[in-house]
Amino acid sequence: MDLAGEVAKGLGCELGQAAVKRFPDGELFVKIESPVEGEEVVVVQSTARPQDENLMELFLMMDALSDLKASVTAVIPYYGYGRQDRAFERGEAISSRTIAKHIQVSAGKVLTVNPHKEHILSYFDVPTFAVDAAPLIGEYFKEKGLKHPVVVAPDAGSKGLAQKVADALGCRCENCEKKRLGPGKVVTSVEKIKLDRNDVIIVDDIIDSGGTIVEAAKALKPMGAGSIRVACVHPVLTGNASERILEIADELVATNTIKTEYSRISVAGLIVEALTNK
């Protein structure tokens, strides 16, 4: 079942219907088909690849819902364009803020899962919340009954997430040191990490080209890893990222903020809980 269906089931509400078509020139057409006048409507839309298409569909859908006097909560499980969270150089568009401005035109409330940087929530003027999938990743590996797991963050930025996974799993957490040379090009050092046939679980928020994970796995393997497993919240998985990872790792698992064959951990329960409590 898709994430929107799981969320509807969890909320005990109807899964609304909409027609989405393309005109011959490529423009999108959206029509809300369910009776939503005056209702509270939750729109679940990740803005992953194809990002621009998914965003346009989201904007059209929320605008049509507003015209029907529905009150809209936007659930954006994967917040695409989120990694440009500031202007790194003068003149750059802050895409995470641009998207926020457009979403809040029609959404009265926004919910997302593990945004790449928490401060992007402040780009919204409407109530905006994030839920954390780290404990779910920990629970997933707990059920695997690994004997000596060690959670490893592939860089300093994912240390907090990895620590929460380790806490849920009740094990040690370590982190690699990563230097980015360019898009998809990184060097990783792991000298300080001591392993003795441990089951290593490398955890990142996003896996995109897979470069960060592959470099971390390559560096950790000769250090005494018994097995290498890889987990992330958002499996962006561009190009042959998953194949490259599975050449060196024993497992790749992710949440279903983006639907892939590796999305075996559902965030539906987290979303339902947050929507019910906020």
Q: Is 210 in the site for ligand R5P (CB under 6 A)?
A: yes
The structure tokens 């080209």 sit at 209
User: Total number of residues binding ligand R5P (CB under 6 A)?
Assistant: 13
Span from 36-44, 51-59, 120-128, 151-159 in contact with ligand R5P (CB under 6 A): 151-159
The only residue of 209, 260, 263, 266 in contact with ligand R5P, by rule CB under 6 A: 209
Cross-strand bridge partners of residue 188: 178
69-100: burial string, b at 16+ Cβ within 10 Å, e else: ebbbbbbbbbbbbbbbbeeeeeeeebbbbebb
Q: Any contact of residue 157 with ligand R5P (CB under 6 A)?
A: yes
For ligand R5P, which residue of 211, 216, 217, 233 counts as binding (CB under 6 A)?
211
Q: Which residue from 237, 170, 158, 235 is spatially nearest to 202, judged by alpha carbons? A: 158
The reply to whether 212 sits near ligand R5P by the rule CB under 6 A is yes
Determine the distance from the C-alpha atom of residue 39 to the mean position of all C-alpha atoms in its chain, rounded to a whole number.
Answer: 28
Output 7 or 76, the one with its CB closest to ligand R5P.
Answer: 76
Which of the residues 69, 117, 164, 178 is marked catalytic?
178
Is the separation of the CB atoms in 9 and 1 below 8 Å? yes
- Of the candidate residues 80, 208, 219, 270, the single one contacting ligand R5P (CB under 6 A): 208
Instruction: Assign 146 to helix, strand or coil.
Output: coil
Q: Which one-letter amino acid corresponds to residue 78? A: Y
Q: Which is nearer to ligand R5P, 17 or 240 (CB)?
A: 240
Residue closer to ligand R5P by CB (options 11, 130) is 130
Q: 258, 78 in Cβ contact below 8 A?
A: yes
Among 151, 207, 267, 275, binds ligand R5P (CB under 6 A): 207
Q: Which of 205, 219, 266, 275 binds ligand R5P (CB under 6 A)?
A: 205
- Output the smallest distance, CB 115 to ligand R5P, in A: 11
- Pick 3 or 214: Cβ nearer ligand R5P: 214
Burial pattern 229-258, b for ≥16 Cβ within 10 A else e, equals: bbbbbbbbbeeebbebbeebbebbbbbbbb
User: Any contact of residue 176 with ligand R5P (CB under 6 A)?
Assistant: no
Regarding 46 and contact with ligand R5P (CB under 6 A), the answer is no
Q: Which long-range contacts (CB under 8 A, 24 or more apart) does 164-168 make?
A: 164/132, 164/134, 164/135, 164/138, 165/134, 165/135, 165/137, 165/138, 165/141, 165/201, 165/203, 165/231, 166/138, 167/135, 167/138, 168/134, 168/135, 168/137, 168/138, 168/139, 168/142
Residue 160 as a binder of ligand R5P (CB under 6 A): the answer is no
Nearer Cβ to ligand R5P, position 84 or 158? 158
Nearest distance from C-beta of residue 130 to ligand R5P, angstroms: 15
117 tagged catalytic:
no
For position 204 contacting ligand R5P by CB under 6 A, the verdict is yes
- DSSP label of 120: G
For binding to ligand R5P (CB under 6 A), which residues are involved?
Answer: 155, 157-158, 184, 204-212
Enumerate the active-site residues: 178
